[in-house]
Amino acid sequence: MIAAVEAVLPAFGDSDPAASPDARLFAGCRAGDRSSFEELFRVHGPRMKSVAANLLGDLAEAEDAVQEAFVKIFRSAGTFQGRSRFSTWIHRVVVNCCYDLLRRRRPTVSLDDGPPGSPSTDAPPSSGEDPAIRVALEQGLRSLPPRQRSAFVLFAIEGFSHREIGEILDTSTGNSKTLVFEAKKKLARLLENRSVSGGRRP
């Protein structure tokens, strides 16, 4: 059943999917150049919104998270130390903004608990996919604990490498792989249960 999960996802893997960062653009951001921030938003904003939408399951909240993230990036870009890629760092900022929104929804929720149910909105469709499986995956995705959901979204939908995910989630590469593996297992069980249930229908 894990193969069924992977069959409807974009084929990325562990290679670095993003092009090398534009050194002049990021240097401009660190220097506080407003036009560089505008270009940063144009280049990275759509992907950041996709990440936020898949984590939050709500386009309006995703837009709020991205807006909040860019405010934080604008204010703190000058302190960026270069210990990770600038593009990785800005995605860490937006993921943390999403976590903040999840906490506001349910103040007592742990990031290791499942988030409240809400529909996923921005997952890109795969050619030849089974729509029923896609719906089941979206339902399963919003049942995952936030960190598993984040790792799965970043890896399987957005195409980040496990090294990048480790930097974004402030964890090890090995733990990123574990989070994605556990997410795939849970989604596979959901699909298997759906298949068994469907087979019992008259």
Chain segment 92-139, per-residue pLDDT in tens: 999 999 999 988 876 544 555 544 444 343 444 444 456 677 777 777
Asked if residue 90 lies in contact with residue 51, where contact means CB atoms within 8 angstroms, the answer is: no
Chain segment 26-73, per-residue pLDDT in tens: 788 888 888 988 999 999 999 999 999 999 988 999 999 999 999 999
What are the structure tokens assigned to 105, written together? 């929804």
Give the whole-angstrom CA distance, residue 57 versus residue 47: 15
Query: Tell me, what's the pLDDT at 129?
Result: 54
Query: Tell me, what's the pLDDT at 195?
Result: 64
Query: Tell me, what's the pLDDT at 184?
Result: 92
Q: DSSP assignment, residue 74?
A: H
pTM above 0.75, yes or no: no
Superfamily classification of domain 2-199? PhyR, sigma-like (SL) domain (1.20.140.160)
Give the whole-angstrom CA distance, residue 122 versus residue 141: 12
Show me where the domains of the chain are located.
Answer: 2-199
Output 194 or 35, whichever has higher pLDDT.
35
